[in-house]
Structure 1
């Protein structure tokens, strides 16, 4: 016996489950048709939500491309307990610059004109 049938003493009559051959006359065609319409509405709502979220995500993505002689900032990551440029952790600088691009090395890598004090750090 199924768990539902054991607990309640009758079979589960869900219109969503697969029906047996003679069972459609018991449930009625209108209930099955109504359940299928609800499934179709839910599926359409999910597709609309998916496309809306996809359009939001695609608007925020853009590629940055720089040319030689452009001015850019250099992003540095703050580290705990490390003093960089005279400041510690939260107060340390996030960006340095602007620095000039000397050469295009790869698709997203550039050679910058860095000052002597940070050139080999």
Structure 2
């Protein structure tokens, strides 16, 4: 419509007209059949995609007052505890849920100095089995120096060294 300035004729609209020639009627019938097959193929592809996407999903529902672990994203510079993502912990916490926002977001009770937004998607949360249990490493989210962006963690003791 934008290109020509009028509503283009579709096979569905043409179907309502009176058809004088048998070849035109056959052509429109074939066109309708192709459209029906195309709709069925699109629907089956959507169903297949939905099936495979839902295989990886698990229903998660938390209540206000539950304790959850927070998943740390790979490219998060604020919540990362080390230089390399592979060596960083996958989850932090546990944190208390303060409020449910919609069906997929929750507001967490984070430390006051944390540099992160308080609301997280349900996919980033994992239920803590015990109330207030901490994972034992980096339970606070403000582990980076605000001015330089470098981790403030320091080793407690060097156990061994070697030279090549």
TM superposition score normalised by structure 1: 0.49
- For the pair shown, the structure with the greater C-alpha radius of gyration is 1
TM superposition score normalised by structure 2: 0.39
Which structure shows the higher helix fraction? 1
Highest RCO, 1 vs 2 (Cα 8 Å, sep ≥ 6): 2
